[in-house]
């Protein structure tokens, strides 16, 4: 399913896999003039491709399946696909993802992409590429005409679970870096956000880092810190932890901040 809207000359596409009339989990991708930023999940790749007919360029923020799903079909239809040099090998040989993610998003198919430059121009759209690792090691964001296309760099100041691969300390640095840029809106996977909301997310992560550090110095274990910080976690967070076998979990944030390895 795709729901389309328009914000500040940016086409907003809210999309997800529909099962029995209900979308399992929403994500967003965007088109600004002739440039597309990310492209939804593999399960609805045909629908995404139909919505993006005649698009000239696709820029990918990172390799996760909910951001690259329609890339093979778009490239086959003549759209140029660009990604960072760190992302390109993972697009050419996508990792096999867990079953629950194949249900929610779908297994990505291989696609060839061209490497990004620091500054690029497409159809009168000037784009600055900003390295913003943290959510993934290969993550980049794009600044175009004062609009930030941020992938999964900024989530929400209510976030309760993190992926196992995420590096919270690195995300903090990436957010600090990107907030040096001039933009008023960020268009990312969770949806459009104001600059103030991006700043609030950074503050949230910094506060979590401070709390985790203080509790660890007091001698609390990871599980005790998790219970202190999230005494009443949302039901959806507990479901995510169970279904994903803690690939998504509260403890991933704590371990990341403390530099403790996260293993399946």
Q: Which pLDDT belongs to residue 62? A: 98
Would you say residue 216 lies in a domain? no
d(CA 48, CA 39): 7
Q: Which pLDDT belongs to residue 215? A: 98
Whether pLDDT at 191 is above 90: yes
Query: What is the sign, positive or negative, of the torsion defined by CA atoms of 182, 187, 188, 192?
Result: positive
Would you say residue 241 lies in a domain? no
Domain that holds residue 143: 2-207
Q: Which of 81, 110, 83, 79 is nearest to 95 (CA)?
A: 110
What percentage of the chain exceeds 90 in pLDDT?
A: 94
Whether pLDDT at 264 is above 80: no
Output Rg (C-alpha) for the chain, integer angstroms. 18
186 CB-side CA count, 13 A:
25
pLDDT band at 8 (very low <50, low <70, confident <90, very high): confident
pLDDT, one tens digit per residue, over 74-102 is 999 999 999 999 999 999 999 999 999 99
Would you say residue 9 lies in a domain? yes
**Least confident interval from 12-21, 67-76, 193-202:** 12-21
Mean pLDDT value across residues 111-129: 95
pLDDT, one tens digit per residue, over 149-173 is 999 999 999 999 999 999 999 999 9
**What average pLDDT does the chain have?**
96
Mean pLDDT value across residues 27-41: 96
Mean pLDDT value across residues 198-213: 98
Would you say residue 124 lies in a domain? yes
Q: What is the 3-state secondary structure (H, E, C) of the chain?
A: CEEEEEECCEEEEEECCEECCEECCCEEEEEECCEEECCCCHHHHHHHHHHCCCCCEEECCCCCHHHHCCHHHHHHCCCEEEECCCCHHHHHCCCCCCHHHHHHCCCCCCCCCEECCCEEEECCEEEEEEECCCCCCCCEEEEECCEEEEECCCCCCCCCCEECCCCHHHHHHHHHHHCCCCCCEEEECCEEEEHHHHHHHHHHHHHHHHHHHHHHHCCCCHHHHHHHHCCCCCHHHHHHHHHCCCCEEHHHHHHHHHCCCCCC
pLDDT band at 124 (very low <50, low <70, confident <90, very high): confident
Number of separate domains in the chain: 1
Q: Which pLDDT belongs to residue 21? A: 84
Would you say residue 220 lies in a domain? no
Whether pLDDT at 114 is above 80: yes
Would you say residue 10 lies in a domain? yes
Whether pLDDT at 105 is above 80: yes
CATH code for the domain of 53: 3.60.15.10
Whether pLDDT at 24 is above 90: no
**Stated pTM of the model:** 0.95
Would you say residue 262 lies in a domain? no
Phi, psi of 3 (to 5 degrees): -115, 125
Would you say residue 224 lies in a domain? no
Phi, psi of 43 (to 5 degrees): -60, -25
């Amino acid at each position: 399913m795709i729901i389309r809207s328009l914000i500040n000359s940016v086409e907003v596409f809210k999309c997800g896999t529909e099962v029995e009339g209900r979308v399992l989990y929403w994500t967003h991708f965007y088109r600004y003039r002739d440039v597309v930023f990310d492209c939804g999940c593999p399960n609805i790749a045909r629908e995404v491709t139909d919505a993006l007919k005649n698009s000239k360029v696709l820029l990918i923020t990172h390799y996760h399946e909910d951001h690259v799903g329609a890339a093979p079909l778009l490239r086959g239809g003549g759209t140029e696909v660009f990604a960072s040099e760190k992302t390109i090998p993972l697009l050419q040989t996508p990792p096999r993802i867990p079953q629950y993610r194949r249900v929610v998003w779908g297994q990505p198919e291989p696609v060839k992409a061209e490497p990004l430059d620091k500054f690029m121009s497409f159809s009168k759209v000037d784009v600055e590429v900003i390295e913003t690792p943290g959510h993934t090691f290969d993550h980049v964001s794009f600044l175009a005409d004062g609009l930030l296309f941020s992938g999964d760099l900024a989530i929400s100041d209510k976030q309760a679970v993190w992926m196992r691969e995420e590096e919270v300390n690195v995300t903090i640095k990436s957010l600090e870096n990107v907030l040096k840029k001039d933009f008023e809106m960020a268009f990312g996977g969770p949806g459009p956000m104001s600059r103030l909301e991006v700043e609030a997310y950074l503050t949230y992560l910094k506060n979590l880092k401070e709390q985790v550090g203080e509790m660890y110095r007091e001698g609390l274990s990871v599980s005790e810190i998790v219970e202190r910080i999230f005494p009443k976690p949302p039901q959806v967070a507990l479901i995510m932890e169970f279904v994903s076998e803690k690939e998504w979990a509260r403890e991933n944030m704590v371990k990341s901040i403390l530099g403790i390895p996260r293993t399946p």
